[in-house]
Copies of this chain bind each other. A is one copy, B any other.
Amino acid sequence: MVFNYPNGKRFRPRTNEITNEKNVVKKEKDLSFSNRGKTLEDEINETNIYYLNQQKAIIHKKPVPVQIVKVEYPSRSAAVIREAYFRTPSTTDYNGVWNGYYIDFEAKETENKTSFPLKNIHQHQVTHMKQVTNQKGIAFMIVRFSSLDRYFVVPFDILCEAWTTMEQGGRKSIPLKVFETKTFEITPGYNPRIDYLSVIPNLIANEE
């Protein structure tokens, strides 16, 4: 099956996957001095490289899934994909291992200042995180409030609660207040940029 990109959205450029920016949607403008126009994905990738180099954890972003239809093999040069389509991923974007624990998360940013709209999350991601939790993996979401320059690690059970409320016709967003009281705030640093591993022990303690 071929899908349009999730929710009919267009493909969003990611620094490590797009080389030729003029052909694609423009990157978002710089939002604040402190994150210097980096996307949350850039920040997480930098963090993961730091963890990898320090051998603190092995966590990678999954490639964007594409359905390849046509490939050309020009002589003496690399194969070129000439027709392909974006597929809907069936998992979250990041996973890996830390100290024997399976780590699995999704990273999302919002421009909102008072709440995080749940439309940023897809059903398949929630389903996947629930399955991971059932297998005793550690599932969570990293949310950046870009306008506030604040970062939170949201345990899956908090996300799940909000999701269930929405499904029952309730609120379609998670208020900032819930982030401040029920999740773990991360102060961004130089290196690692977003030290989300530092709160994993709290997530584990929560579950046990």
Nearest Cβ in chain B — how far from A103, in angstroms? 8
The 8 Å CB contact of A79, one of B10, B20, B57, B135, is: B10
The distance in angstroms between the C-alpha atoms of A66 and B16, with both chains bound, is 10
Given A79-B4, A102-B101: A20 touches B69 (CB 8 Å cut-off): yes
Contacting residue for A81 out of B19, B62, B84, B95, CB 8 A: B84
Q: How many residues of A are in contact with the other chain, CB < 8 A?
A: 58
* B23 with A70: CB separation less than 8 A: yes
A 5-31 binary contact with B (CB < 8 Å = 1; else 0):
100001100000111100110000000
Q: Determine if A78 is an interface residue (Cβ-Cβ < 8 Å).
A: yes
The CA-CA distance from A89 to B24 in the complex, in Å, is 24
**Cβ–Cβ < 8 Å partners of A64 in chain B:** 63, 66, 68
Is there contact, CB below 8 Å, between A58 and B135? Answer: yes
User: Is A83 at the interface (CB under 8 A from chain B)?
Assistant: yes
Knowing A60-B90, A84-B66, say if A135 contacts B99 (CB, 8 Å).
yes
* A55 interface hit (Cβ, 8 Å): yes
Report the bound CA distance from A18 to B137 in whole Å: 32
Q: Is the CB of B67 within 8 A of A137?
A: no
- If A66-B63, A67-B19 touch, whether A86 touches B95 (CB-CB below 8 Å) is no
* CB pair A2 B71 closer than 8 Å: no
- Also in contact, A81 and B63, with CB within 8 A (given A131-B52, A135-B97): no
In Å, the complex CA distance between A111 and B56 comes to: 39
A175 at the interface (CB under 8 A from B): no
Confirm or deny: A104 has a beta carbon within 8 angstroms of a beta carbon on chain B: yes
Give 30 A-B contacts (CB < 8 Å), ordered by A residue.
A2-B78, A4-B78, A4-B79, A5-B79, A11-B68, A11-B71, A18-B67, A19-B67, A23-B71, A24-B70, A24-B71, A52-B131, A58-B128, A60-B91, A62-B62, A63-B63, A64-B68, A66-B66, A66-B68, A66-B81, A78-B86, A79-B86, A81-B81, A81-B85, A97-B135, A99-B136, A100-B101, A100-B136, A100-B137, A102-B137
